[in-house]
Amino acid sequence: MSKIKIAVIGGSGVYKIEGIEVVKEHLVTTPFGNPSSEIIEAKLNGVSFYFLPRHGKHHSFTPSDVNYRANIFALKELGVEYLISVSAVGSLKEEYPPTTFVIVDQFIDWTKGKRERTFFNNGFVGHVSVAEPVEAQLQKMILDSCRDVGVKHGTGGSYLCIEGPQFSSKAESNIYRSFGASVIGMTNVPEAYLAKEAGMAYATIAMVTDYDCWKEEHCTLDEIMKVMAQNNQQAHAVLKNLIPKLNSNQFSFKKENTFAILSKPEKQTPEQSRMVEVLLR
């Protein structure tokens, strides 16, 4: 088992960090099919970590088509305990303009039921609490890194996850604002909940690209891509600060999956037994 415990999952632009060394790629098969791509093992300032491009190396998977279960299971099988998500989002609050990083602490699932959102089904039963889907200690470390490198950021709030791939209508956007959510995106559910089922510490860097559509400011995809390029540069700075710090200050945390599995060992299939062994590591 690898001693590498840190992973980053995000867009392909995230790992193009100055000074990064790509060591090798890992092809991991899972009971849920293949992850979005080979998992990249890299080094940054001498610290090893994994990176997984959420939408594939060539951005070939829509948010609905991402195999979230395979992604999380593959990372857990490699030994990952700390998972940093980097995601583009729209802002639902005036105080979070484009280029702000919002370090959320809650999620609202507004997807349409197309996504497999649990490892427990088909006679394999478990119930994991996602009351606190973001690990507070990891969230704090990300916030500290944002401060260290001077990135404008917001603390806490909810990430509302829609199905996509279309952006919201104005009516929908105003409904979401009425919920009190801070940002809107398409990928962090079920990713965050599966990370909890896998016993990982998970936290999100939500990078604001636009004001969704609730403000009277039309924003084209080209304009959003320009902001994303700036956001990626800021993400590079945060990760270069965060990853070595996290590696040197690894912390223990409550794993919500420890007593969650109800299916008796003698009733589990060989594949289910393998899943238990990986998820409960």
Catalytic residues: 210, 212
Structure tokens at 208: 């604001």
Residue that the structure tokens 């490198």 belong to: 149
Q: Which is nearest to 256 in space by CA: 103, 50, 118, 144?
A: 118
| Peptide bond just before 190 cis, omega within 30 deg | yes
Q: DSSP 3-state assignment of 210?
A: strand
Strands 39-44 and 47-53: antiparallel
Q: Amino acid identity, residue 257?
A: N
DSSP string, 9-41: EE-TTTT--TT-EEEEEE---BTTB--SSPEEE
Q: Which is nearest to 8 in space by CA: 87, 77, 90, 115?
A: 87
CA distance 278 to 198: 8
Integer-rounded Cα Rg, in Å, for the chain is: 18
